Amino acid sequence: MQNLIKKLLLVSLLLSTFVFGGFSSALKKQKFLTPDEAFTVTAVEKDDTIETHVKMADKIHIYEDSLHYRVIDPQNVELTVKKPASHEFDGDKIYEHDVEVNIPTSEIESKVAGDYTLEIEFQGCSDAGICYQPIKKTFKFKGTELGVFDKISKMIKEGNTAKIADILVNESSVFILLLFFVFGLLLSLTPCIFPMIPILSSIIVSQQSGDTKPSVAKAFFTSLVYVLSMAMTYTFVGLIAGLLGADIQAAMQNPWVLTVFALMFVALAFSLFGYYEIGLPASWQSKLSKASDDAQGKGIVGTAIMGLLSALIVGPCVAPPLGGAVLFISHTGDALLGGSALFVMSMGMGMPLLLVGIGAGKFMPKPGGWMTAVSQTFGVMMLGLGIFMLSRILPAGMTMMLWSLLFIGTALYMGVFETKAGEGAKKLFKLFAMIMFLYGVALFMGVLSGASSMLSPFEKFTSGGGAAVTVEKVDKSGHLGYSIARLEKEIAASDKPVVVDFGKDSCTACAELEHITFPDPKVKEQLKKFTFIQVNLTANSDDDKALLKKFELFGTPNIIFFDKDNNYLPEKSLTGFIKPEDFSKHLESVAK
C-alpha cells in the first residue's frame, strides 16, 4: 500500500510540474518587435540621386512585390525603380537585412514640378510568426520649380514615349497643346523638315503661268493647303493608331502602299518636267473661281497629296512625340485631346513652310526661263524621293541600280558631254554634271560587282586592301519569327542586362541605327556589357503584333532594356533614331 501511495504521489508531482509549469510558460508574453523596431526607413538626397534604405532587424523580411516607390504630392506618380535581387522563401520573393534603392532626381522632376513628397510602401513579417500591416513612410524633398518652357525643353530631348505619355496624363490640356506646338516648331528646324522646303517651293513654281509674278495670297494659300494636309495626316494616323492600338506605320510600309506612293512621286516629277499639269478638273476650277481667285484652285489636289506624302517622309523624326500621343490616346481614350495635340504639332512644323509660301510670292524673282530649270531640278528630286520610298522594299542592289540611272540620266540631261563652250558659272555647272555622271557610273559598276552600299560601290574590288569602308554583313534570318515566349526565354537565359532592338526592313530610321549607331566603336564597347537581341518585325505577324502590344510600343524602331535580373525598364526605352554618342551614354546609364 505504501508503495502504491508513493507512486501516486510521484505521478501527481510529475503531472503538476508538467501542467502548471507548461501553462505558466505559455502565459509568458511573446516579445515581438514593434514596426519601428523591425524596420528603419531613410531617404536622403545626395548629388542628383535620392538614396533610400529599408533596414530590417534580425529574422525580419519584406516581400518584393509589396515594395513600391511613388510620389504622392503634388500628384500621384508611380516610380519605376531598379530594385536589388531578391531570394526565395516559402515560395515568395523576399528581402532581408537591407534594401538599397537609388532614384535619380531627374526621373522624378521629369514628371512633377516643384517640391514633392516621396512615399515608400512595403509589407513585412517576422520569422517568429507575425506579419505587420502595410507600412508607408513619406519624405519631403525640395524640387526644381519648372516653368512651362522648362518643361517643354526637357520633353524635347525625351526619346521615351512612355514618359511623354505620363506628362500628357498629368498636365493640363492647355499645356499639352502648347507643348506639342513647340515640339512642332523645334522639329521644323531639324534636317528632317529640309526636304519639305524644296518640295513646297517646286509646287509653287510649277503652278505659275506665263510671265505673271505669283501673288502673296496665292503662294500662301498653296502653302496652307500643303501644311493642313500634312497636319490632317498625322492627326488621322494618330487617332486611328491610338483608338485601335494598331501599328498604322506598319500598314503604311506595306510594299503595295509604298509602290503607289513612289509612282505618285514619279507622276509629280513628270509634271514638273512639263509633260502635263496636275490640277482640279476644268469644271471644278470654273466653279471655284466664283468664290476665290482661279489661280488658287490650280494644283490644290497635287498640293494636298504632297502634304500627305511629306508627313510620311518626316515620320521617323516625330516618332517620340507621335508615339507618346498615341500611347496617351490608347490609355485614356481621349481622342479629342490626343488628336488636337498631333494637329497643333503638325501646324508648328508647318510654320516655316508657310513663311516659304509668303516669301515665294513676295521675293521670288521675275518669271523667266530660269523657272523651267528650277522645275526640272525639283522633278529630279521627286524621282529621288520615289527611289527613296522604294528602297524600303527593294533589294539593295536594285536600289543602287535605280540611283545609278538617276545620276547618269540627270548628268546627260544637264548636257555633260555637250561640246558647246561655257563661261563662268556654266563651267561649274558642267563640273557638277560630270561629278554626278562619274558617281552614277561608279554605282553601276558596283551593282555589276555585287556591291550593296552606295557609300562603298567598289567594296568588292577593295575588300582585300583593308582601306575601304565597308558595311558589315549580318545574317538577319535569326531576327525573324520572334514570339513573346521566345524573347522571354532568351532574356531569362542572360546573366547580363539585355538590349532588345525592334526593327523592320522598310524602316529608314532602323537602317540608320544599323549602319550608323550600332557599328560605332564606343557603342560596340558598351554593348559588350549587354546581351543584344534584335527582333525583325517586317512580317507584321500575329506574334509581331503581340510583342508590340506587350511592351506598349507603336511602330519601329524601338529599343527596350532589361536589367541583369531580367526586370523590364520601361523608363529607359528609346524610340526613333538616336546618335551613337547619345546611345553610348544611355547604355552606360543602364549598365550602372
Residue-level pLDDT, tens digit, the chain, 592 residues: 544 444 444 445 444 444 444 434 443 445 678 899 999 999 999 888 999 999 999 999 999 999 999 998 877 888 888 899 999 888 889 999 999 999 988 888 777 777 889 999 999 999 877 899 999 999 999 876 555 556 555 555 555 565 666 666 666 778 778 877 877 777 676 555 655 666 666 666 665 555 555 567 777 887 888 888 888 887 777 677 666 654 455 555 567 777 877 787 787 777 767 676 655 455 554 554 444 333 333 457 767 777 776 666 555 455 555 666 665 666 556 677 777 877 888 888 778 778 777 775 555 545 455 556 666 776 787 788 788 778 777 777 888 899 999 999 888 888 888 776 556 667 777 888 888 899 999 988 988 888 767 777 877 776 544 333 344 444 455 678 899 999 999 999 998 999 999 988 767 678 788 888 999 999 999 999 999 999 998 777 888 888 988 887 766 788 999 998 888 988 788 887 888 998 998 898 888 7
pLDDT value for 4: 45
- Residues 412, 358: one domain? no
Domain coverage including residue 300:
161-364
The distance from CA 175 to its chain's CA centroid, rounded to whole angstroms, is 22
DSSP string, 202-265: HHHHHT--TTPPPPHHHHHHHHHHHHHHHHHHHHHHHHHHHHHT--HHHHHT-HHHHHHHHHHH
In-domain check, residue 58: yes
CATH code of 70's domain: 2.60.40.1250
Amino acid at 176: I
Measure the CA–CA gap between 25 and 390, rounded to whole angstroms.
87
218 and 245 both lie in a single domain: yes
In sequence order, what are the beta bridge partners of 96?
A: 61
State whether 315 and 179 are in the same domain.
Answer: yes
Same domain as 177, residue 69: no
Q: How far apart are CA 471 and CA 453, in angstroms?
A: 7
Q: Cα dist. 171→74, 127, 203, 270 in Å?
A: 12, 45, 40, 48
Contact 240, 319 (CB under 8 A): no
Q: How many domains does the chain have?
A: 4
In a domain, 188, yes or no: yes
Residue 12 pLDDT: 52
How many residues are given for the chain? 592
In this structure, the answer to whether residues 83 and 203 fall within a common structural domain is no
Is 20 a domain residue? no
- Under 8 Å between Cβ of 58 and 14: no
Q: What is the pLDDT of residue 10?
A: 41
Say if 55 falls within a structural domain.
yes
Angle of CA points 311, 390, 395, to nearest 5°: 140
The span from the CA of 266 to the CA of 385, in Å, is: 9
317, 177: one domain:
yes
- Torsion angle of C-alpha atoms 550, 552, 557, 560, degrees rounded to 10: -70
The pLDDT value given to residue 280? 46
Same domain, 451 and 493: no
Please give the Cα distance from 53 to 44 (Å, whole number). Answer: 9
* Amino acid identity for residue 417 in this structure: F
Enumerate helices (H) and strands (E) in the chain, giving the number of each: 24, 15
Q: Is 324 exposed, middle or buried (0-12, 13-18, 19+ CB in 10 A)?
A: buried
Q: End-to-end CA distance of the chain: give it in Å, rounded.
A: 85
Q: Which of 344, 364, 384 is the last residue of a domain?
A: 364
Q: Which of 300, 336, 154 is nearest to 224 (CA)?
A: 300
In a domain, 14, yes or no: no
Sheet architecture: strand order including 77-78: 77-78, 68-73, 116-122, 135-141
Return the C-alpha cell found at 233. 495626316
Is residue 275 located within the same domain as residue 302?
yes
Question: How far from chain centre, in Å, is Cα 212?
Answer: 46
In whole angstroms, give the CA distance from residue 315 to residue 252: 11
Of the residues 111, 141, 171, the one at which a domain ends: 141
In a domain, 567, yes or no: yes
Q: Is 537 exposed, middle or buried (0-12, 13-18, 19+ CB in 10 A)?
A: buried
My answer on whether 109 and 225 are in the same domain is no
Helix-helix angle 196-206:335-363, to 10 degrees: 60
Q: 19 in a domain, yes or no?
A: no
For residue 535, give the nearest of 508, 558, 512, 511 by alpha carbon.
558
Last residue of a domain, one of 113, 141, 169: 141
10 assigned to some structural domain: no
What distances in angstroms separate CA 552 from CA 8, 290, 570, one per listed residue?
Answer: 80, 51, 9
User: By CB neighbour count within 10 A (0-12 exposed, 13-18 middle, 19+ buried), where does 544 fall?
Assistant: buried
User: Do 199 and 171 fall into the same domain?
Assistant: yes
- Which grid cell is 421? 563652250
pLDDT at 298: 45
pLDDT of residue 39: 95
Q: Name beta bridge partners: 184.
A: none
**Domain co-membership, 281 together with 179:** yes
As a 3-state breakdown, the chain gives helix, strand, coil percent values, each rounded to 5, of 55, 15, 30
The region, left, alpha or beta by phi > 0 then psi within -120 to 50, assigned to residue 280 is beta
Alpha-carbon distance 235 to 588, whole Å?
36
Asked whether residue 191 falls in the same domain as residue 63, the answer is: no
**550: domain CATH number?**
3.40.30.10
Neighbours of 403 (CB within 10 A): 21
pLDDT at residue 292 in the model = 37
